[in-house]
Amino acid sequence: MNKIAIFGANGRMGRVLIEAIDANEQTSLVAASVRPDSAWVGMDVGELAGIGKRDLAVSGSFEKLANQIEVVIDFTLPAALEANLAWCVENRKPVVIGTTGLNPVQKALLSDAAKHIPIVFAANYSVGVNLMLNLVRQAAKVMGHTADIEIIEGHHRFKKDAPSGTAMAIGEAIADELGRDLSTCAVYGREGDTGERDQKTIGFATVRAGDIVGDHTALFAEIGERLEITHKASSRLTFAKGAVAAASWLLNQPAGLYDMADVLGLKS
């Protein structure tokens, strides 16, 4: 039984992760934390996730629980990353990170921490999305030098970062295949007289509405035809199951920074 802990148990993904770990016969939730001043401290994790009492209380920290934990999953906010990583490094706990919207400094923290512990960091833990990243590379190789490339993504009204981490990962995969630097070729908004489109740019369009779980499309448009590669998620449980699978996989890995392509064996 793989013993897993969750940072940010009261978040939207935290609650679904509780459900996913509980449903997996190979995993056991041994700790779930929230901020020490949170009203959720002391609540049963099963009741928090809406799956019924599980006789495990939400805690304000992992300090007294470290010996029980084998691997941690973190889907919190960028502001919490430094403290969460520091705890994992200090206690030598592998960690799966799904927090998006990280800045360059925070990404550097990940790289530094990965010298000491194994880390899986991915913008999206869906199997379908990670297959999509492979497919857009193939499309870019064949069509990218002549097609106009646009990435369209949609999420629920509560999402705080834009474009999504998944949209950026799609853009980075395409740019890498084409030998371009996404930081210089990305276009994030168009308004007014923008002039004709530069074919070497990669455009991003963002939708925030209702309860959209996650829609992503990579569009390769030529004169006379276009190719659209689309993934649509209908449940957060998809991402949670992928993160739990990554946590189990990570237990057998040496220190290093991995992604879902490593977990799924998609790298050649």
Identified catalytic residue from 64, 145, 159, 216: 159
Q: Report whether 217 contacts 152 (CB < 8 A).
A: yes
Looking at the fold, whether 148 and 70 belong to one and the same domain comes out as no
**Mean pLDDT value across residues 244-256:** 96
State both tokens at 48.
Answer: 């928090």
Looking at the fold, whether 136 and 229 belong to one and the same domain comes out as yes
Identified catalytic residue from 64, 93, 155, 231: 155
Looking at the fold, whether 220 and 155 belong to one and the same domain comes out as yes
Q: In this structure, how many other beta carbons lie within 10 angstroms of the beta carbon of residue 123? A: 22
Residue-wise pLDDT tens digits, 195-222: 999 999 999 999 999 999 999 999 999 9
Looking at the fold, whether 9 and 22 belong to one and the same domain comes out as yes
**Mean pLDDT value across residues 98-119:** 94
Residue 100, pLDDT score: 83
Looking at the fold, whether 193 and 218 belong to one and the same domain comes out as yes
What is the span of the domain harbouring residue 49?
Answer: 2-121+236-264
Percent of the chain with pLDDT over 90: 91
Looking at the fold, whether 106 and 27 belong to one and the same domain comes out as yes
Q: Is the pLDDT of residue 124 over 90?
A: no
Q: Is 159 labeled as catalytic in the residue annotation?
A: yes
Q: Which of 105, 108, 60 is nearest to 87 (CA)?
A: 60
Separation of alpha carbons 252 and 257, rounded Å = 13
Strands (E), 116-239: 118-121, 148-155, 186-187, 202-208, 214-222, 225-233
Residue-wise pLDDT tens digits, 138-154: 999 999 999 999 999 99
Residue 268, pLDDT score: 64
Entry pTM: 0.81
What's the structural domain count of the chain?
A: 2
Looking at the fold, whether 241 and 215 belong to one and the same domain comes out as no
Residue 101, pLDDT score: 84
Task: Name the band, by pLDDT with cuts 50, 70 and 90, for residue 172.
Answer: very high
Task: State the CATH number of the domain containing residue 101.
Answer: 3.40.50.720
Looking at the fold, whether 112 and 242 belong to one and the same domain comes out as yes
The H or E element that residue 255 is part of is none
Q: Is 53 labeled as catalytic in the residue annotation?
A: no
Residue-wise pLDDT tens digits, 45-91: 999 999 999 999 999 999 888 999 999 999 999 999 999 999 999 99
Residue 267, pLDDT score: 77
Q: Report whether 69 contacts 2 (CB < 8 A).
A: no
Looking at the fold, whether 216 and 132 belong to one and the same domain comes out as yes
Across the chain, mean pLDDT equals 95
Residue 63, pLDDT score: 86
Looking at the fold, whether 145 and 187 belong to one and the same domain comes out as yes
Looking at the fold, whether 256 and 183 belong to one and the same domain comes out as no
Strands (E), the chain: 2-7, 27-33, 71-74, 95-97, 118-121, 148-155, 186-187, 202-208, 214-222, 225-233, 256-258
Residue 183, pLDDT score: 95
Looking at the fold, whether 167 and 104 belong to one and the same domain comes out as no
Task: State the CATH number of the domain containing residue 204.
Answer: 3.30.360.10
